[in-house]
Amino acid sequence: MVTHRERPLRLLVVCPSWVGDAVMATPTLKLLRTSLPGAFLGGLVRPGIDDVLDGLGVFDEVHVERASGIFGPKHVAAKVRPRRYDTALLLTNSFSTALVARIAGIPRRVGYDRDGRGFLLTDRIKPPRRSDGRWAIVAAVEYYWRLGTTLLGPEGHEVVFPEDAHLWLQVTQEQDRKAQTMLAAAGIAEGERLAILNPGGNDPSKRWPPDRFAALGRLLTEKHGYKVLVNGAPSEQELSSEIAAAIPGGIDLAALGGTLGSLKGVIARTSLMVTNDTGPRHIAAALGVPLVTLFGPTDHRWTSIPVRPGAPEALVLADPTLPIDLSANDHPERCRIERIDLARVVEAVERVSPALRG
């Protein structure tokens, strides 16, 4: 542990690369900002993550870079070096980001000792493991929190993630304006009741079948009067357009363009999201939107999130009977997401939206 005198004056926080992970790091980012009021905080983020974190007021400067290719770390380090950071906190696990911090000449480098990068770190934090040597199932919010509290030291900060902390995002005025423009272009009037379906995901095995998303969308539209938006990354537009076309009045958000920033603005205007375990889920949780999240062969405990009061989340697991000492990751057949039927999802929707019952 460090003492108060050793706390950084110029800190570079290397942020997670995935949208969901970046959002799950926000309690730690807030802790760093409030605990280091006189320090200069820089953020190193990949393109897109700057949009997600915009509006938080955590960083004094944001470096938007991607350390790809053989010379990527050297290129990024050259951009960072002139700021003369005295400490780097690596919320990432990658070798390349640790190499960036080392090449940039940052004297103190704090991160988890894994993926062969321990020799690049000055403060090597042991990642939690199970008795058999494999990674312990630890929620990402706690994983990042442990790094932040280790950096800050013992003065009044608990290593255990506090019960009253939650994910934290802000929608900027510009992001809200762009969201409003997108929705108006789709013919959606101000004040309409919006639900958003998020059927994509980087891993196809985590995707609930498109026909079930479409059936749910029709139910929300025809029985409950929602205007249903279907979200997808640009690479998922075929999927989102297929589902939107099967829902009366369904809107394919991917076809409207936009950025992660404008997506924040759209999500903030909705009153329900049904989603696979992917980045927009965490954005919705941070913005206080009621959630239903579907889990297949990925253990839900990796991405357990603290939700805001009054904004519930219902988890629907492919196999809710799986013993707690087993991981869904190790049982892909037993935990196939196709095992989740429509009725269970409808019941979960009613749980987070009691007005829909009956």
SS3 190: coil
Q: Which of the two residues, 105 and 67, has the higher pLDDT score? A: 105
pTM here? 0.93
Q: What angle do CA 338, 339, 343 make, to 5 degrees?
A: 100
Rounded distance between C-alpha atoms, residue 172 and residue 187, angstroms:
23
Q: What is the pLDDT of residues 320-351, one digit of tens each?
A: 999 999 999 999 999 999 999 999 999 999 99
Contacts of 28 (CB under 8 A, 6+ apart): 91, 141, 144, 145, 147, 148
- Local structure of residue 307 (DSSP, 8 states): P
Kindly report the number of other CB atoms within 10 A of residue 48's CB atom. 17
Q: Which domains does the chain have, with CATH numbers?
A: 4-152 (3.40.50.2000), 173-356 (3.40.50.2000)
| pLDDT tens digits, 85-136 | 999 999 999 999 999 999 999 999 999 999 999 999 999 999 988 888 888 8
Residue 240 · residue 246 · CB < 8 Å: no
What average pLDDT is seen over the chain? 92
